[in-house]
Amino acid sequence: MPNKKQTVFILKNIRMLLTNGFGDVELRRLCFDEPTFRPVYDQLNVNTGKDEVIQRLMEYAEQKVLLNSLLSLIEDRNPAQYAQYHPYIEGMPNPLAARNLNNPFHYGSPVPPEKFIGHRHAVEFCQATLTGPVPANITISGERRVGKTSLLHYLHRYAPEPEWGGHLIFRLDLGILSGMLTATTFWQQILRIFNSYLPPKSPLWSHVFDVCGQTTISGNDFFQVLQSYHQLNDSRPIIVMLDEFELMFQAYDHHIETLLTNLHAITLEPSNRITLITATRNTLPEVCRPYSRSTGNDFHSNYVACPLVPFDRAETERVVHDILDGTGLTFSTQELDFIWNLSQWQTNGAHPILLQVAGSLLFTYKQKNQAPIDFQKLTQEFKTLTRIYIGDLSGPLLSEPPLRHPRDYWVDYEQTLTIFENHILLEAPPERIQTFFDLADALRTHFKTAGENQTDQTLHSEPQTIIDKLTRLSPELTGLDFEQLVARYWRDDDAG
């Protein structure tokens, strides 16, 4: 008879499962609770470290032909972790792949409201503001792709709920009016949204329809419609959401000034029951500076600020955990480190869109059961994907005020360059992106050649020498932009 095929266990995966799936106390309890593995517990003392506990447990299980029993025990106690590190036996099928899970990470469009789980503090702030005794206007600000539009989608979905105040939502992306924004086109869009809420038999329906057809529409026309609406028995408070509000100033003139004055006045009258929410990249006072100069008044005077910032480490881990909830998959500390490091944004934290891309790649990789994870390969895929996907963004790379990078951050040049490249992806003008990536590649080549210690010393003492070397190393990067860029990223902590 042919010999029965011998079971070949993949010990490194079992070790990863025990290391990342259990704490020291949990491992000891597992050995104590199971009579099969009690002999292992009897060999332990208070000074036995976790790695040694794992080693003794695996050796015992292998010697006694109990590895299958150990794996079954682990699967019962921690199925989520058990699902992560397959295969444990050569030829073992991948249960995650068989389930054909949809990747829960999302990028490429605004995050759907039901998946919007980041910026928890911003959501709570908006709800508290909108349901307060005197609701205030809200100005949402933050860098590109940080979640402003996704937050507006979330508010659009939930603000009509009773616990949010039961609002009517008029959401308008001013981008659709780019190049043809006037007071008339603006109010026309708002009134069309208004009319979509009214049943055809409403006494207001024909009135709003007629106003939309006027050749000129003013703030006073909207004010009259608003007053008529609130005389109805079933009227509700209104929120007007204006995404890309800075486009209001793209062709600023006295007509736009009048439009802004009317908007401001309408929100000041309590009986109008109307709240404005704007979304801008810069803060509203910065965006509205032309209005303040031309009128001597501040458009933003009755707004509360809701800035969106990159996630800190705790929120990063919470967001990833919530995204993975229900998938049967979890990420280890090492894998969370991978996402955190790739998502860094201006040394301030994890940028949401970069977190989603990194998490998506890691999820797909783990679902295919390619263990151990090739983090270097995933990093290259991340860079390729983000350059393709995020590389169409425009905007000034050298924004004000200057970003300041601590000296000691340059010690880990690879991490610094990752932040630098992410900054390029989200900030650089499209026509300059490849040039800046060439610069990053030149920096990486130079650092690897020089060695970290030497690089650190050189960077502290001779920044201009480095610039000169890089100019010679990559001649196409010469010129003012190159020097400004490099000098920017060599700013000292105490630079003015």
DSSP classification of residue 139: E
- Is 293 part of a structural domain of the chain? yes
- Write down the pTM of the prediction: 0.62
From first to last of its 496 residues, what are the pLDDT tens digits of the chain? 444 456 788 888 888 888 877 877 788 888 888 888 989 888 888 778 888 899 999 999 888 888 888 988 888 777 666 766 777 887 665 554 444 567 888 876 677 787 787 888 999 999 999 998 888 999 999 988 888 999 999 999 999 999 999 999 999 999 888 788 999 999 999 998 998 888 878 888 888 888 988 999 999 999 999 998 988 867 889 999 999 999 999 889 999 999 999 999 999 988 889 999 999 999 999 999 999 999 999 999 899 999 998 899 999 999 999 998 888 788 889 999 999 988 886 557 888 888 998 999 999 888 776 567 888 888 888 887 776 555 433 333 223 333 333 333 334 556 556 656 665 666 556 566 666 666 666 666 666 655 544 444 444 434 344 444 443 433 333 332 434 444 444 433 333 3
Domain count within the chain: 3
- Is 104 domain-assigned? no
**Among the listed residues 364, 353, 430, 357, the one whose alpha carbon sits nearest the alpha carbon of residue 142:** 353
Place of tokens 């109307």: 274
Q: In the 3-class helix/strand/coil scheme, how is 205-232 assigned residue by residue?
A: HHHHHHHHCCCCCCHHHHHHHHHHHHCC
Same domain, residue pair 160 and 209: yes
235 and 284 share one domain = yes
pLDDT for 448: 60
Range of the domain at 82: 11-92
Out of 251, 286, 307, pick the residue that ends a domain: 307
Return the CATH number at 195.
3.40.50.300
Q: What is the C-alpha separation between 291 and 298, in angstroms, rounded?
A: 7
367 assigned to some structural domain: yes
Q: Based on the domain organization, do 282 and 421 belong to the same domain? A: no
Q: How far apart are CA 128 and CA 135, in angstroms?
A: 9
Backbone angles phi, psi at 61, to 5 degrees: -65, -40
Residue 3, in any domain of the structure: no
Q: Are residues 26 and 45 in the same domain?
A: yes
Distance separating alpha carbons of residues 483 and 242, to the nearest angstrom: 38
In the chain, DSSP finds a helix count (H) and a strand count (E) of 24, 5
Amino acid at 414: E
Clarify whether residues 460 and 360 are in a common domain. yes
Residue 143 lies in a domain: yes
Spell out the SS3 assignment of 384-418. Answer: HHHHHHHCCCCCCCCCCCCCCCCHHHHHCHHHHHH
Q: Is there a single domain that holds both residue 287 and residue 172?
A: yes
- 98 is a domain residue: no
Residues in the chain: 496
Residues 324 and 427 in one domain: yes
Q: Specify the pLDDT at position 191.
A: 92
Closest CA to 53 of 36, 32, 68: 32
Give the per-residue pLDDT at 421.
64
| Coil vs helix vs strand at 241 | strand
Q: Which residues pair with 283 in a beta bridge?
A: none
Supply the pLDDT for residue 423. Answer: 58
Q: Examine the domain organization and report whether 286 and 346 are in the same domain.
A: no
Rounded CA-CA distance 459/465 in Å is 9
How far apart are the C-alpha atoms of 239 and 136, rounded to whole Å?
11
Are 135 and 183 contained in the same domain? yes
pLDDT at residue number 384: 75
Residue 298 lies in a domain: yes
Burial of 83 (0-12, 13-18, 19+ CB in 10 A): buried
Q: Nearest-CA neighbor of 237 among 138, 307, 159?
A: 159
> Tokens representing 156?
């659009």
The residue type of 333 is: T
Instruction: Round to whole Å and give the CA distance between 415 and 379.
Output: 12
CA-to-CA distance for 407 and 489, rounded, in angstroms?
10
**Which of 307, 325, 342 is the last residue in one of the domains?**
307
Residue 2 lies in a domain: no
Q: What angle do CA 4, 7, 9 make, to 5 degrees?
A: 170
Same domain, 390 and 419: yes
Of 219, 209, 235, 211, give the one whose Cα is nearest residue 182.
Answer: 219
Same domain, 290 and 344: no
Same domain for 224 and 131? Answer: yes
